[in-house]
Amino acid sequence: MPVAPAHVRDTGPVSHRSAIPAIRRHVRAAHYSEPMPDPSPRLSIHVADPGYGPGLDASDMDVADVRTDVEGIAWQPVIPQARPAGELVFIDGAQQVEAWLTVSHPDESRPLAGVAFAVAAGAVRAGHGDRAEVVDVVVRRAAITEGDRCLHMPASGAFRWEARAGSGRDPFALARLVGQMRGELELALAERWAAPDRLIVLDGRLSFVRDAHGPMVGAVKSHHRIYLEGDQGMVVSRLRVGERTPLFQIGEDRLSWYQRLPGLGEGGWAGILRGEAPRALGVEVARMLADRATSELPRYAGRPHRDPRAPQNLIPIMTLEGRLKHRMGDRKLALRAVRQAASQAWLEDAAPQAASVPIPATLTVAA
């Protein structure tokens, strides 16, 4: 029997299909197995689910001093003077942390912490007997990294992030910056809708307001700190719907009062809302704003059967919360988009962003 040459001898049955890959494997191993050099250092970015990360910063709790002699009247329930109802615009904001980031550069030993998130603010106009309507909604997305370097992430589908920097290197700095950007967006929207005969009602404390451009109050529904105690605290528990306490001063920049909303009876602290006005407006203007809020806000009190935070979570605010959540989009889809964009992201030196957050016309939409 003839013997095949050694260089073509087969040691077993080989099909025509399997013989070809053997040649290809030899060529690939000879010329293409070595990795190509990377023209630039690649970032390694760990993208973490936002359900795990920094929470409430306890250092942000309000510990300002309180003065109760600013209005100069006896400490007893105040019944505002009757005034014609006017137009109100309710302003609220929302934030959505979509991913916590850990950015590692191959040439640096210490990684940078970051966050990708969305903030939104909106306005609801009400009054004059017309049905309340959402009239303005603004949504912005950003990625913030600590220090003075910006993380640029390419757009992923409909998701686009502004690159921002400037947070400190502590566990809560990024969380505070997210809240600050949301608050500044609310304030910019409030100033846009301010008018001499229109009352702007901001949901929550007036943390970013120093000089109001028109009548503006804050409506605080939660009582993490009780500002009045003793006999003055008893005045709060005796309030009826449509009554308020005298003004008191919190710190150097806010005047405040308590008022009662309908829905949970007229005893104790149930249904109590705290109002705020900028101290810069003066006591007389703050008194008029407190009277107007005490007279008009009970019409918009939340309904307990629809909202567990009622009555303090006002109906226009509840409506706006749902709209803002919808406009920011699904958080799980956003997390997926961040993961895709992080694979092509790059770092760039940048100065810290300015404190103001203008509202680009292209991002403002009528609801």
Any domain includes 192: yes
What's the structural domain count of the chain? Answer: 1
pLDDT for residue 234 is more than 70: yes
Give yes or no for residue 11 having a pLDDT over 80: no
| Assigned domain for 33 exists | no
In order of 32, 67, 105, 275, the CA distances from 42 in angstroms are: 21, 57, 7, 51
Q: What is the mean pLDDT of residues 232-258?
A: 95
Residue 284's pLDDT is what?
A: 96
Residue type, 51: G
311 within a domain of the structure (yes/no) = yes
Q: What are the phi and psi torsion angles at 207 (to 5°)? A: -65, -30
Domain assignment present for 16:
no
The answer to whether residue 89 sits within a structural domain is yes
Write the DSSP symbol of residue 274: E
Q: What is the mean pLDDT of residues 265-269?
A: 82
- If you average pLDDT over residues 225-236, what whole number do you get? 93
Average pLDDT over residues 55-61: 48
Higher pLDDT: 212 or 131? It is 131
Higher-confidence residue: 201 or 165?
Answer: 201
Q: What is the pLDDT of residue 8?
A: 37
Nearest CA-CA partner of 299 in 212, 199, 197, 190: 199
Distance (Å, whole) CA 211 – CA 29: 71
Amino acid, single-letter form, for residue 269: W
Residue range 93-118: mean pLDDT, rounded: 91
Q: Domain of 277?
A: 44-56+66-365
Q: Give 314's contacts (C-beta < 8 A, 6+ positions apart).
A: 90, 201, 203, 219, 297, 300, 301, 302
Mean pLDDT, to the nearest integer, of 106-119? 89
Q: Is the Cβ–Cβ distance between 248 and 68 less than 8 Å?
A: yes
In-domain check, residue 190: yes
What is the model's pLDDT at position 144?
Answer: 93
**Does residue 249 sit within a domain?**
yes
Confidence band (pLDDT; 50, 70, 90) for 224? confident
Residue 343 has a pLDDT of 92
More confident residue, 212 or 96: 96
Whether 86 is covered by a domain: the verdict is yes
- Other residues' Cβ atoms within 10 Å of the Cβ of residue 347: 20
